Amino acid sequence: MEVPTIGIGAGRYCDGQILVVHDTLGMYSDFTPKFVKQYAQLRETITEAVGTYISEVKNQQFPEKKHTFTMDDSVLERLY
């Protein structure tokens, strides 16, 4: 009977590999496990994007009307 082996940092001879996506996308700057290959450095980009989102929500710049749904009053009345 063959049993597949899945590894996280266990080397190339396993049948499958598991990695934490946050490590492979460079979302942490303090530590990267030895067995991880980073395919991107997204920490700064994500931090900036989330900061912009928070600022726009606090300043009532987001959501704008184009980001919301509307409903005719006649449709709303039929729901009640």
- Neighbouring CB atoms inside 10 A of 34's CB total 5
User: Is residue 25 within 8 Å of 38, Cβ to Cβ?
Assistant: yes
| pLDDT tens per residue, range 3-32 | 999 999 999 999 999 999 999 999 998 899
Question: Nearest to residue 46, comparing CAs of 22, 30, 76, 65?
Answer: 22
Contacts of 17 (CB under 8 A, 6+ apart): 6, 7, 8
Above 90 in pLDDT, residue 77? yes
**What is the percentage of the chain residues whose pLDDT exceeds 90?**
96
| DSSP state for residue 68 in the 8-state scheme | S
Contacts of 61 (CB under 8 A, 6+ apart): 55
